[in-house]
Chain A
Amino acid sequence: MKDEVESREDRVGKLKGLGCSRKRVEDARFTQGKGNYVDDIKLDGMLFGDFVRSPYAHARITGINIDAALKVPGVLAVLTAKDLEPLGLHWMPTLAGDRQMVLADGKVLFQGQEVAFVVAEDRYAAADGIEAVEVEYEELPVLVNPFESLKSDVVLREDTVDEDGAPKDGAHGPRKHHNHIFTWEAGDRDTTEQVISEAEVVAESDMYYHRTHPCPLETCGCVASMDKVNGKLTLWGTFQAPHAIRTVVSLISGIEEHNIRVISPDIGGGFGNKVGAYPGYVCSVVASIVTGKPVKWIEDRMDNLMTTAFARDYHMTGRISATKDGKITGLHCHVTADHGGFDACADPTKFPAGFMNICTGSYDIPTAFLEVDGVYTNKAPGGVSYRCSFRVTEAVYFIERMIEVLAIKLNMDAAELRRINFIRKEQFPYTAALGWEYDSGDYHTAWEKALKAVDYEGLRAEQAQRIEDFKAGKTRKLMGIGLSFFTEIVGAGPVKNCDILGLGMFDSCEIRIHPTGSAIARLGTISQGQGHATTFAQILASEIGLPADSITIEEGDTDTAPYGLGTYGSRSTPVAGAATAMAGRKIRAKAQMIAAYLLEVHDDDVEFDVDRFVVKGAPERFKTMKEIAFAAYNQAIPGIEPGLEAVSYYDPPNMTYPFGAYVCVMDIDVDTGVPEIRRFYALDDCGTRINPMIIEGQVHGGLTEALAVALGQEIAYDDMGNVKTGTLMDFFLPTAWEVPNYETDHTVTPSPHHPIGAKGVGESPHVGGVPCFSNAVQDAFRPFGNVHTNMPHDHWRIWKTAHDLGLHG
């Protein structure tokens, strides 16, 4: 037999398992235009629904006249809050324990808010119908600044106050003001205050992490189809969490969960935008129930940017204390979080500010305190994790800026300050002052490798020369060296502290091995470009010894896939990837018994070897997994059920903590404010590496999104609450022309608790990238007295920094 002469290495190679840069199985359909995205779905008799939206940010609705709209040829129905009220669907619960209007119930709270839903035979009639709906508004005072909102007499959410106007308790306890949502604390307030007040050195900074948006290239949308004959509702949509959507739809519609089938088809990027539940989904379902026909709703780009799922909008105030020689002693952080008109953050229930309490970063900070106040304003609801794990971007930005600010105060090199304060390798598992237990890390090794790779000393020498040249009038370009060292907290998460709407954040994998030695595995997650069909098969290939090419991965259909919480927060590999490995091990355990039976030895006398079980000490006696698979179906084995299947629901014991070291070199034209990225080096440690090609691709993409956020991508409002950045002319998505090449590198520190040691990587480059780009801009101006300037560092803001520092003469 050929197998007998094959080397072990060849057999490993054939599996295309862990560590292999396997080409993606998804690509055949995508490169041939045969992807199947939600807007590609076309059903018989399908109708189109779309929204009448508010032009005002805050207004009372005094009348809605739909008569003219109903006369538009092709318009079948116009739904308003009045129609939804008898069904109890004019409001819906948010993931953050608040509620949100599905259609405007008497007033609107942000520009673009959904006022009425026009259902028509095609998208043209729907558009004409929208134009014909007459809405009378009475404008109300607009609050776009959370600090003013907290002082204002204007009550934004009348449903959250009692008869006397006093705020009722919210989902996270007492509220301080009628426009206040919650206060969330972590750490030790008194000790932190004491440490800081007694410290040798204290650095302080206010920083605003601006509002932005995940803006995947495909917007959100769905097709709802109520089959009145069988009583079954099918809902296709851009859902990053299809199973949770099924449960939510069941809870709010009253349709039993077994009668609902949610399908996430191919998804054109998510980045957090597609985690939440939006009014469009509810209205499509209602419209389908009302009309008995399938109803499609696809938001346009302006709808997308203006209404579904903003990210960040964190006003952060920090104080950091240290000894004179740079050992950090304490950290204090206060956040005023602008949540818009409804608190629709997508965070685990117990974490209204997500994992902001990872804001002690990669440093051994003995004492810390964090306080977050959530506030209502007249802006769109959301607060999603845009390519990050629940506010980790904000936390990492905060600490990586505070480190820089402290370095300035200490007149110390920022790379050295980090080195002095890193959690040391031998301290892991490390319990941080704000409560998290970091599973593993080797920060010093990564840092030294990064600094060496970029010749950090050389860069600083070049920068010093540049400053001299600048001062001598020989150049108008400054040079910035951006550093960042980040620790992420991903893989939410342990059911003991992580749930969404009461659903524990485990994940799942179900495997069926077919008689001829191929397999299908289904998971509770859903790829939006991460390549799950490729990488999960690799995990499984290494676990069960069947080639990845013989394993189909399927996700996103709630009728077939096991329940899981979906894909966001870099949780797929840490949680569903672990479930995959564990389910694979169950397969292997049964296969071992079958092999032992076939080889006529005791179970303990065979051992797994790549793609087979061999008799210990007699490697020439073996059964391949392929042979075992067949035996599972064709042999009556005493004491063993036929078939070879397994399912695992994995509740992770801890989060995983990927980390990385990034360096950016930037030239800045002080006269125009134009930055030029000369070099970007990214070292990522995501533990065990499943597919290096895909990891590298994720790093490139995450860094590019970081570049955009740091250098210009913003959802900006004027004082009247009008969105100023509603199209891709003004909302900055860089093209190939504005993006540099990146150098990628890695170290490997496996997670000690994850079955294969993997940690997740999709979001790391975004989390670490944003502060790195920002630090590069700010570092360029450090020699001239800059301490902190806010993002986005677009041309005019960079110019303003130069201007304010007197660099324009």
Chain B
Amino acid sequence: MGKKMHIQMTVNGKAEEFLAEPRELLIYTLRERLNITGPHIGCETSHCGACTVTLNGKSVKACTVFVAQADGSEITTIEGLGTPDALHPLQVAFKEHHGLQCGYCTPGMITRATKLLEENPNPTEEEIRFGMAGNICRCTGYQNIVKSIKAAAAEMNAAKEAAE
């Protein structure tokens, strides 16, 4: 067992501090140390995206980041996107358009989609498919995921317009 190091990070707006072996993978830090079990483990080789979180403003796969690398970082997971009373429009849209089945890929999928829509608020179907290509779903065949993201984009754009 290796030496532990002091780690600080902000997860979903909450400051966290702990000692951890540097080899601890960020996904396990979140899931096992901080009990944030929304992000999941699917492939462990950065192909499936079930572990997707937002790290310092960017979508990353938490199975391929050491906790040591994430020292000092800001992280957002599915748990930080909305509350039961104020869901993120993507959370609403995925339910409304049947964008999930077993639910295992969903947290990573939605977390990734939040960044996609930040980068490109009005994506075409092709842009959605390309922008979501780091997230594998075994259940839905993606058609309803694309539909959900399109619907959420429309909703968010309408809300933005209304606010302006």
Binding site for B on A (CB under 8 A): 23-24, 26-35, 37, 39-40, 42, 73-74, 123-125, 128, 215-218, 266-269, 271, 300-301, 528-531, 693-694, 696-698, 700-705, 727-729, 733-737, 739, 741-742
Contact = CB atoms under 8 A, between A and B. Distances in A.
B139 interface: yes
Contact of B133 (A40, A217, A736): A736
A728 B91 CA distance: 27
B102 A728 contact: no
A123 B28 contact: yes
A30 B141 contact: no
B154 to A, nearest CB: 18
B95 A217 contact: no
Contacts of A35: 103-104, 106
A529 B133 contact: no
B130 A737 contact: yes
Contact of B136 (A74, A123, A693, A733): A733
Contacts of B135: 735-736
A703 B98 CA distance: 16
Contact of B50 (A23, A217, A266): A217
A73 B143 CA distance: 49
Contacts of B41: 39
Contacts of B98: 23-24, 693-694, 696-697
Contacts of B36: 33
Contacts of A739: 129, 141-143
6 contacts: A26-B103, A27-B103, A217-B104, A268-B104, A701-B139, A739-B142
A269 B104 contact: yes
Contact of B104 (A37, A271, A698, A702): A37
A701 B43 contact: no
Contacts of B100: 27, 30-31
B128 interface: yes
B82 A32 contact: yes
Nearest to A737: B133
Nearest to A735: B133
Contacts of B47: 727-729, 733
B31 interface: yes
B104 to A, nearest CB: 3
B155 to A, nearest CB: 14
B68 to A, nearest CB: 14
Q: Which 5 A-B pairs have the closest CB atoms?
A: A33-B38, A529-B102, A30-B103, A268-B104, A700-B141
Nearest to A73: B1
Given A42-B35, A531-B101, 13 more contacts: A32-B91, A33-B78, A37-B104, A124-B24, A217-B104, A529-B102, A697-B101, A701-B138, A701-B140, A704-B140, A705-B138, A742-B141, A742-B143
B132 interface: yes
B42 interface: yes
Nearest to B132: A736
Contacts of A737: 129-130, 133
A218 B136 contact: no
Contact of B139 (A73, A529, A735): A529
Q: Which of B105, B106, B130, B146 has the most CB of A within 10 A?
A: B106
Interface in B23-73: 23-24, 28, 31-32, 35-45, 47-48, 50
A726 to B, nearest CB: 10
Contacts of B104: 35, 37, 216-218, 268-269, 529
Nearest to B103: A30
Task: Count chain A CB atoms within 10 A of each CB in B28, B48, B90 and give the residue with the most.
Answer: B48
B51 to A, nearest CB: 11
A736 B145 contact: yes
Given A37-B40, A705-B138, A735-B135, A32 B87 contact: yes
B43 A33 contact: no
B129 A728 contact: no
B102 A528 contact: yes
B5 to A, nearest CB: 14
A124 B103 contact: no
B137 interface: yes
Contacts of A697: 98, 101, 139-141, 144
B44 A269 contact: no
B40 A268 contact: yes
Nearest to A36: B37
A728 B141 contact: no
Nearest to A25: B95
Interface string B112-140: 00000000000000001110111111111
B44 A301 contact: yes
A269 B138 contact: yes
Nearest to B131: A736
A218 B42 CA distance: 6
B42 A736 contact: no
Contact of B138 (A30, A37, A271, A530): A271
Which of A30, A267, A269, A733 has the largest count of B CB atoms less than 10 A from its CB?
A: A30
A529 B103 contact: yes
A547 B28 CA distance: 41
A307 B67 CA distance: 30
A128 B48 contact: no
Contacts of B141: 697, 700-704, 739, 742
A702 to B, nearest CB: 8
A530 B39 contact: no
B21 interface: yes
Contacts of A215: 138
Contacts of A736: 128-130, 132-133, 135, 137, 142, 145-146
Nearest to B104: A268
B136 A728 contact: yes
A735 B136 contact: yes
Contact of A30 (B84, B106, B134): B106
A701 B98 CA distance: 12
B32 to A, nearest CB: 7
Nearest to A218: B104
A28 B102 contact: no
A769 B141 CA distance: 13
A718 B91 CA distance: 45
Contacts of B103: 26-27, 29-31, 35, 266, 268, 529
A727 B138 contact: no
